[in-house]
Structure 1
């Protein structure tokens, strides 16, 4: 009579710990936003509406439960993050890698003037081709620094936890496309984030690939 045998052990399927969530928030409105000027890394403060937007957004993002908060070192991002920090009771980590694109010769230029003088360049820029900007930061450079810092933000939390960062529209758009493995045409399918809009990316399991959960959520 044959004795029963122990069923073979199933091979490991990888890390089954719950995945992490990354929330990326664009800063509130500035006077340059209202005037249609390209800001880039010019340090412009929030205007009155920008502060109101940040105050409305903060409790909603805080309710997502981030255990850490990072932000760009530019004033508009730091001031926006301060509202979320107050709700969470945490101190933001300031990191210059979360800055917006440096827009070279086009910083301070109004959109209407850009369209009138360099229409093809502006059309390509709005499609996400930031490399057309003379003297500006290259898309690959921004994708690299934003990818590094987003991974650092995620690595600051454990399995199943949420991390948040306040950054800038072009930088976030580029980061999301890079983190998801999209090419430049894929990035152009994402419309720009509104002021104080946010996006969520999440892992299915800890350390796994990120997936797009939402884009341009609003308070």
Structure 2
């Protein structure tokens, strides 16, 4: 049985502002880069046989810092993306509760099939992550694998 390291990307400016990112491609802030460096130091003695991240800049950059000068190639995939938050992306929780009050109320109910306009549901994200997990387990049965993703999706 292998080992899989699940890492959330470092902080972005939108994280610090309380903005919903979803699929919006936001890079790391200075703090986020420092967090990636700290994580890299903690994992520096681990040899990764494989490395995956979502295809969004914040996860790819976090993974690249962790991998450092390693020869392990980084495989970026849409499958590891954060929830697609649709019309909520770019807004703070306060802003979207005011702009989309009905959707906001619906989002508070624990409904796996709720999705914001132009977004995806928790069930869709869960299915996507389960597919990725099954693929990783079958491809890397006894490997040490780095996976850099998003807090909501992981």
**Equivalent residue number for residue 24 of structure 2:** 42
Aligned residue in 2 for 1:56: 38
TM-score by length of 2: 0.84
Q: Residue 133 of structure 1 corresponds to which residue in structure 2?
A: 116
1:120 matched residue in structure 2: 105
**Structure with larger Rg:** 1
Structure 1 CA distance, aligned partners of 2:46 and 2:94?
38
Work out the CA distance in 2 between the residues paired with 1:65 and 1:43: 29
Please list, as runs of the form range in 1=range in 2, the aligned pairs for 1:105-184 lying within 5 A after superposition: 105-115=87-97, 118=101, 120-121=105-106, 123-124=108-109, 131-159=114-142, 161-172=143-154
Deviation of 1:136 after TM superposition, in Å, equals 1.5
Secondary structure of the corresponding residue to residue 84 of structure 1: helix
Note if contact 1:74-1:99 (Cα within 8 Å) is conserved in structure 2: yes
**CA contact 1:27–1:77 (8 Å) conserved in 2:** yes
Aligned ranges for residues 99-110 of structure 1 at < 5 Å?
99-110=81-92
Relative to the length of structure 1, the TM-score reads 0.61
Which structure ranks higher in relative contact order (CA pairs < 8 Å, sequence separation ≥ 6)?
2
Cα deviations across residues 53-84 of structure 1 (Å, max 9, x unaligned)?
00001232344543211010000010001011
SS in 2 for 1:29: coil
Aligned residues: 151
Aligned to 1:7: none
Q: Taking structure 1 as reference, are residues 128 and 31 closer, same or farther at Cα in structure 2, changes over 3 Å only?
A: farther
The alignment partner of 2:7 has SS state of strand
SS in 2 for 1:171: coil
Would the aligned equivalents of 1:22 and 1:164 in 2 still touch at CA under 8 Å?
Answer: yes
Equivalent pair of 1:70/1:165 in contact (CA under 8 Å) = yes
The Cα shift of 1:95 comes to 1.0
